[in-house]
């Protein structure tokens, strides 16, 4: 009879593998966005030779060596990234635990029993007499087999395993999304620090110019060639610039704190930029004719799709609960009165215990679970579609900004140039007695504001490329 056990296991396995699957057939929802990203108008003309940013690794996209080192520091130490990695390990462990239910659990048990039994002798007349002695009884057994293996005839266990697998895949994509986002955030923080340091330099230079004007008007006021009004106006501009210097210094300290939070470590001073013009941070890549399908490769979109597939599988598991659950317990072994005879002939033993259970009435629990699974699937579809729509909007916004940023930069550069020349001319005219000091102050303020706006526009341009890298999925290699 023992030889029948392997056949029994093979039959159980083949039955489980050939079982039906009650999960709905999965088909990817059609993205509720246009087939192509916006073109024409404010959007930039397609560049035929431009690389696909989503396939360019971050080490190739970011060309400043200092920025590369700061990004690598963040990838090695950022706590959000470590949390995402731990979530992946958790999901993988849960998947493996759930997948184990697809296979029989096989165990071995050994027992030994010692029983002391009193024996009684019968009298000559047939009555029970005194004690006849004590007998020791021993039994030894070894059994091994399958304990409560569910024959997955309706796909419940397989669908639960598939759902756990898809959640594992989703957590892996979430980790990738976290990495892409972190790389973009570090680059943006690094560029912001460069911009703020440049703004500080402008404020300090302006403070010196306003100091000279203030000293001049105070001296003129003392000798009576300038009014107190002019002196106070010069003082107002000077104090405003002094405030700007202090504010910029605070902002720079906060920028460094933010950068160190993102990297999860102290960033060495030599890895920090001095100004935006210090070095080129990224390749000047402009996406060409990019179809909206490229958004389907974004990690957050793939994460949403894996979660949708998981919910689809959960419907199959919920449907299987309406059908009988069939379990099998089977063991083979040997039993003997002594250990030496345990594996001898004639000691074989086996048990086969199939069990079927079906809830006849459970107050609608199965139907409620099925309805919940279907509603969860519908919610996952909506989440998937919204994730794609959000991705489309992010890329479209970045492209719209990219299409006009060069024109903005040219305009701001021309404005800063003109304002600087106007400030020099008005100062010369004031010293020659042609213009009032109010004209000089106005020209100086205009020049100061124009320089600040130019730096802000340059930051916008640099950040726009980083945004395109991030919103198009970014390369991680």
Residue 5 or 386, more confident: 386
**Across residues 319-344, what is the average pLDDT?**
75
pLDDT in tens, 143-192: 767 777 777 788 888 899 999 999 999 999 999 999 999 999 999 999 99
pLDDT in tens, 56-113: 889 989 999 999 999 999 999 999 889 988 989 999 998 888 888 777 777 777 776 7
With beta carbons less than 8 A apart as the criterion, state whether 309 and 26 touch.
yes
pLDDT at 464 over 80: yes
pLDDT at residue number 189: 95
Structural domains of the chain, with CATH: 29-102+155-318+372-471 (1.20.1600.10)
pLDDT in tens, 179-230: 999 999 999 999 999 999 999 999 999 999 899 888 888 888 888 877 888 8
pLDDT at residue number 248: 96
pLDDT at residue number 32: 84
Average pLDDT, whole number, for the chain?
84
pLDDT at residue number 2: 46
Confidence of residue 337 (pLDDT cuts 50, 70, 90): low
**d(C-alpha 451, C-alpha 185), whole Å:** 26
pLDDT at residue number 477: 63
pLDDT in tens, 118-149: 665 555 554 444 555 666 767 767 776 777 77
With beta carbons less than 8 A apart as the criterion, state whether 28 and 350 touch.
no
Please, what's the b/e burial string for 273-298 (b: 16 or more CB within 10 A of its CB; e: otherwise)?
bebbeeeebbbebbbeebebebbeeb
pLDDT at residue number 413: 95
Q: Which residues pair with 327 in a beta bridge?
A: 150, 355
Confidence of residue 455 (pLDDT cuts 50, 70, 90): very high
With beta carbons less than 8 A apart as the criterion, state whether 302 and 125 touch.
no
With beta carbons less than 8 A apart as the criterion, state whether 184 and 192 touch.
no
Lowest mean pLDDT among 172-181, 208-217, 355-364, 391-400: 355-364
pLDDT at residue number 119: 61
With beta carbons less than 8 A apart as the criterion, state whether 263 and 186 touch.
yes
pLDDT in tens, 277-307: 766 888 876 665 667 788 888 999 999 999 9
Whether this model's pTM surpasses 0.75 = yes
CA 37, 38, 42, 47 dihedral sign is positive
State the DSSP code for 291: B
User: What are the residues whose beta carbons fall under 8 Å from the beta carbon of 142, sequence distance 6 or more?
Assistant: 108, 109, 110, 333, 334, 342, 343
């Amino acid at each position: 009879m023992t030889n029948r056990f392997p056949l029994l296991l093979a039959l159980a396995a083949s039955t489980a593998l050939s079982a039906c699957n009650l999960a709905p057939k999965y088909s990817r929802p059609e993205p509720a966005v246009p087939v192509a990203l916006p073109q024409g108008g404010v959007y930039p003309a397609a560049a035929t030779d431009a690389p696909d940013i989503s396939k360019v690794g971050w080490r190739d996209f970011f060309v400043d060596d200092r920025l590369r080192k700061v990004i690598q520091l963040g990838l090695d130490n950022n706590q959000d990234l470590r949390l995402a990695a731990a979530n992946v390990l958790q999901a993988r462990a849960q998947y493996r635990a759930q997948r184990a239910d697809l296979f029989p659990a096989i165990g071995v048990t050994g027992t030994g029993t010692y029983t002391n039994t009193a024996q009684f002798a019968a009298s000559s007349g047939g009555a029970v007499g005194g004690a006849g002695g004590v007998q020791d009884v021993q039994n030894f057994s070894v059994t091994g087999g399958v304990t409560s293996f569910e024959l997955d005839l309706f796909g419940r266990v397989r669908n639960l395993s598939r759902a756990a697998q898809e959640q594992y895949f989703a957590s892996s994509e979430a980790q990738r999304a976290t990495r892409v986002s972190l790389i973009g955030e570090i680059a943006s923080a690094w560029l912001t620090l460069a911009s703020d340091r440049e703004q500080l330099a402008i404020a300090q230079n302006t403070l010196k110019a306003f100091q000279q004007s203030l000293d001049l008007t105070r001296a003129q006021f003392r000798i009576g060639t300038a009014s107190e009004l002019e002196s106070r106006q010069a003082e107002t501009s000077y104090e405003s610039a002094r405030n700007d210097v202090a504010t910029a210094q605070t902002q720079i300290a906060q920028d460094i704190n933010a950068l160190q939070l993102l990297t999860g470590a102290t960033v060495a001073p030599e890895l920090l930029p001095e100004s935006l013009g210090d070095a080129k941070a990224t390749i000047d890549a402009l996406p060409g004719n990019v179809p909206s399908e490229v958004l389907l490769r974004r990690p957050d979109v793939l994460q949403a799709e894996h979660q949708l597939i998981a919910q689809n599988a959960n419907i199959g598991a919920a449907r299987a609960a309406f059908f009988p659950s069939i379990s099998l317990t089977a063991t083979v072994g040997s039993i003997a009165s002594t250990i030496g005879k345990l594996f001898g002939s004639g000691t074989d033993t086996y048990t086969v215990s199939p069990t079927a259970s079906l809830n006849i009435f459970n107050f609608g629990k199965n139907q409620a679970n099925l309805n919940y699974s279907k509603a969860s699937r519908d919610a996952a579809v909506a989440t998937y579609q919204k994730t794609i729509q959000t991705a489309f909007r992010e890329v479209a916004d970045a492209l719209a900004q990219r299409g006009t940023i060069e024109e903005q930069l040219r305009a701001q550069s021309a404005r800063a140039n003109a304002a600087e020349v106007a400030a020099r001319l008005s100062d010369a005219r004031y010293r020659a007695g042609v213009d009032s000091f109010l004209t000089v102050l106005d020209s100086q303020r205009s020049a100061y504001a124009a320089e600040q706006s130019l730096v802000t526009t340059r930051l916008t341009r640099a950040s726009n490329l980083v945004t395109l890298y991030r919103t198009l999925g970014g390369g991680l290699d």
